[in-house]
Amino acid sequence: MEDMHSLIREKLRAFRMIHFAMMMGSFMYGVVIVFIHFNAPIPPSINDASTLTILTYGIFAYALLAVGVIRYMRQKFLSSDNIFKKIKDAKNPDQPSFFSNYLSTLFILWSLCEVITIGGIILYLTSGQLEIPLFLIGFGIFLKLVNGPKFEELTALEKRYAVVEVQG
């Protein structure tokens, strides 16, 4: 049992490093558009206020929808027994399959968060305004932060995995 907890801690450290690197990538989007804005401002490529308003509302609507979809998908993916589906791991054939499936689930969720930050970049490039795009990038980073790897989830998966292994 202690061996499994040390494996969970080891995997969690690796997952958190990946998570941190992905959040820093999103943070760099914000840094780059601030740098561009102050050193080489981009004129708006869309001058029609109604088109910009529709684009802004669309990106905000996606962001709000993404919050619900991410919450639903995380719960659905992690509660499904498909997370224990065997995947051949050439490096660690004796390692439980839920580790790689858990990380794959997180990558799906993080990609939904990434779309919000990319929406912020698109909004900056089309409007030339800085505040709303930075807010969207910050919100995408926050959403990614909230949906990071969790020790409690991995230990719960390990307990369910033990039951599935005994039954199977």
In the predicted model, what is the mean pLDDT of the chain? Answer: 89
Q: How far apart are CA 31 and CA 51, in angstroms?
A: 26
Tell me: pLDDT of 90 over 60: no
User: According to the model, what pLDDT value does residue 151 have?
Assistant: 93
User: According to the model, what pLDDT value does residue 64 have?
Assistant: 95
User: According to the model, what pLDDT value does residue 37 have?
Assistant: 94
Residue 85 pLDDT class (50, 70, 90 cuts): confident
Q: Is 17 exposed, middle or buried (0-12, 13-18, 19+ CB in 10 A)?
A: exposed
Q: Within a 10 A sphere around the Cβ of 54, how many other Cβ atoms?
A: 12
User: According to the model, what pLDDT value does residue 19 have?
Assistant: 96
> How is the chain split among helix, strand and coil, in percent rounded to 5?
80, 0, 20
Considering the entire predicted model, what is its pTM? 0.87
Range of the domain at 122: 2-167
Q: Is 90 exposed, middle or buried (0-12, 13-18, 19+ CB in 10 A)?
A: exposed
Instruction: Report, as an integer, the average pLDDT of 30-53.
Output: 91
**Using one digit for the tens of pLDDT, what is the confidence trace for 93-106?**
667 878 888 999 99
Tell me: pLDDT of 63 over 60: yes
Reference 26, options 99, 120, 107; nearest CA is 120
Q: How far apart are CA 122 and CA 49, in angstroms?
A: 16
Q: Is 16 exposed, middle or buried (0-12, 13-18, 19+ CB in 10 A)?
A: middle
Q: What are the structure tokens assigned to 66, written together?
A: 């993404």
Q: Are 144 and 19 in contact (CB under 8 A)?
A: yes
Instruction: Give the CA diameter of the chain.
Output: 64
Count of domains in the chain?
1
**Using one digit for the tens of pLDDT, what is the confidence trace for 119-149?**
999 999 999 999 999 999 999 999 999 999 9
Q: Are 149 and 19 in contact (CB under 8 A)?
A: yes
Tell me: pLDDT of 87 over 70: no
Q: Flag the least confident range among 3-12, 84-93, 153-162.
A: 84-93
User: According to the model, what pLDDT value does residue 100 have?
Assistant: 86
Q: What are the structure tokens assigned to 112, written together?
A: 């939904």
User: According to the model, what pLDDT value does residue 3 have?
Assistant: 84
Q: Are 119 and 136 in contact (CB under 8 A)?
A: yes
